[in-house]
A and B are shown apart, each in its own frame.
Chain A
Amino acid sequence: MADISIRQVYKSYGRTEVVHGVDLDIHDGEFLVILGPSGCGKSTLLRMIAGLEAISAGDILIAAKRVNDLEPRQRGCAMVFQNYALYPHMSVAENIGYALKVAGIAKAERLRRIATVAATVGLGDFLDRLPAHLSGGQRQRVAMARAMIREPQVFLFDEPLSNLDAQLRVQMRIEIRRLHRRLATTSVFVTHDQIEAMTLADRLVVMNGGTIEQVGTPSEVYHRPASRFVGSFIGSPAMNFLAATIARPGIATIRAGHAIAFAETDFTAPPGTQVEIGIRPEDLIVTSPGTPDAIEMQVEFQEELGAGRLVHGRFAEQDFIVQLPAGHKPVASLSLFVLAPAQAVHVFDAQTGRSCRAAACSTGPA
């Protein structure tokens, strides 16, 4: 059990800086997910915690102890790699028990613990196999078992599910969640899959370009994105964005001369500010033609999702998507009138990309 404290951590490879001063506190026993696009520095951050990558500047503390200069083995972390990194010349049992063997634990004790852990992940019958003779899902379990057997202070996962097929991925996700409920070990999980992130996380960290965009619960990150990036990155289909200017508190005008209302208690921006309005496709409500201030979108094509229907089109020279609820009949006309409820409208500063949400509500770093 341990908490992790990351303070102003930087990482440079030669002259290229890839992590730009990250501050993050990971609580004891929490399941933290780091989410971000490819190349944003998630793995780098995780590997700095693990000790596989040197920290260029800043401090990392595990259980209140500064670990910058400690070897990986002294940090009490166990890691599950994306490609599993199983030792190809060792059997499943030897793979799982390697850490204990290195630690000099007697063979009888080792075998007992291997059997227990293997049973937990359902590998009891495969102990003598070589990794080459296992399926992808089984390999993944070996990798999990190998991490579990050490009873580490911290679990680190670097996209452990991305090599699995969709069905197995969901199943392993549930097993990881179950495992965490039982062991309650501090876990850091890196992924670029937002569904995985939303479903697993106690708290979610959204990274972009080597910095943290927002930290919060999945619900906070979804409902109150701290930046335009978070809004666009979380949620599928992606959030619609419209360039607008603040006319007066609670009202923004889109360039086409349209007014859109937003919750003036939530978003504070002086009149005249250039902003971007963000509206999620699922928040838009279809209304009858001619409704004042309704958004009239040009319909291009539609996608049947089963649980709903996506209408793709254009509005104010920008792509625009509306998600219709299940059972809604296909749109027959060339244009569709929709309304955005004021509570569902997000306002982002056009210059900085940060949310205009009143400071108290913002959960991201300044």
Chain B
Amino acid sequence: MEHHAQFRTRWLVALLLAPQVLLVFTFFYWPAGAALFWAFTLEQPWGGGNAFVGFDNFTSLFADSFYWASVGRTIVFALASSCLAMGMALVLALFCDRQLRGYAYYRTALIWPYAVAAPAAAVAFRYVFAPEAGVFAGLNAMYPGLWNPAMSGTDAMIMIIIAYSWKFISYNFIFFLAGLQAIPRSLIEAAAMDGSGVLRRMRDIQLPLLTPTVFFLLVINITDSFVDSFGIIDITTEGGPAKATNLMVYKIYFDGFKGLDYSGAAAQSIVLMVLVMALTFVQFRYVERKIHYK
């Protein structure tokens, strides 16, 4: 039996593939290639093209204390936002899995935020967290200077963490709920017969069986927080105040397009790209293989 349709002409194959290849090339390989080129060359001060400089751009990057400060902030942001987004999502999913009254509506409502574009969410959060309006105006009236993300770096960081996590709670929630519902009902019932209460069952049965999902989401959350935070930062803080929210991805944009240091920015992009690839590798290599009970 022949299972595949056969194309009679090669040019048809080429024609059908072309748009896809073109897209991937234009939006991935070309920029990545350009970044590589920039990262290993330096534009000469008085024109005359780019000179190959080897690892010089990386050496000076790694010698730059501002860069390491940005890496530190990125790690804080990645861990805090992943923990917040996953923790909240897990709690909500555990409640939803109990199928309390009205859970179907609640589940649908929880999935919506994921459909909101990051910059749109950021605009909303800029108003929510504005020190002179909303909840915080009241708090600031009671304790003057308590909250001002435009002045305090910590406040600004908290703001972008919350704004960023908000959207990822939905994403994580979907996976956690699916993971919980994949646990056979009879396991929960067996544990109930064994004398285990609701909380104990969550701890002893549901969470351990959810480990594959947790690891999967952890990697995805961290990876995405490296790159996806751009929209939120650009709209809410623009990396400020005093570079307190200048995460790696934003620093690339800032150094490259505002500072016009293409080579430095390109070297940073390569570092970030390698990081994301490394995490993806961990994801495929260890997480997908190891942590499954079958």
Contacts and interface: CB of A to CB of B under 8 A. Distances in A.
Contacts of B208: 89
Interface stretch (B79-87, B93-101, B193-201): B193-201
B137 interface: no
B189 interface: yes
B293 A52 contact: no
A132 interface: yes
B190 A87 contact: yes
Given A83-B184, A89-B208, A98-B204, A73 B192 contact: yes
Interface in A56-112: 71-73, 77-79, 81, 83, 85-89, 98-99, 102-103
B207 to A, nearest CB: 10
Given A81-B189, A87-B191, A89-B208, A102 B293 contact: no
A319 to B, nearest CB: 40
B6 interface: no
Given A89-B208, A132-B293, A79 B193 contact: yes
A88 B191 CA distance: 12
A44 to B, nearest CB: 13
Interface string B177-216: 0000000101101111111110010001100110000000
A71 B201 CA distance: 14
A: contact size bracket: 20 to 34
Interface residues of B, number: 19
A72 B196 CA distance: 9
A71 B192 contact: yes
Contacts of A73: 192-197
Given A52-B192, A73-B193, A87 B187 contact: yes
Contacts of A294: none
B194 A146 contact: yes
B196 A102 contact: yes
Contacts of B293: 88-89, 130, 132
Interface string A249-284: 000000000000000000000000000000000000
Interface of B: 184, 186-187, 189-197, 200, 204-205, 208-209, 293-294
Interface of A: 50-52, 71-73, 77-79, 81, 83, 85-89, 98-99, 102-103, 130, 132, 146, 150
5 contacts: A83-B186, A85-B190, A99-B194, A150-B194, A150-B195
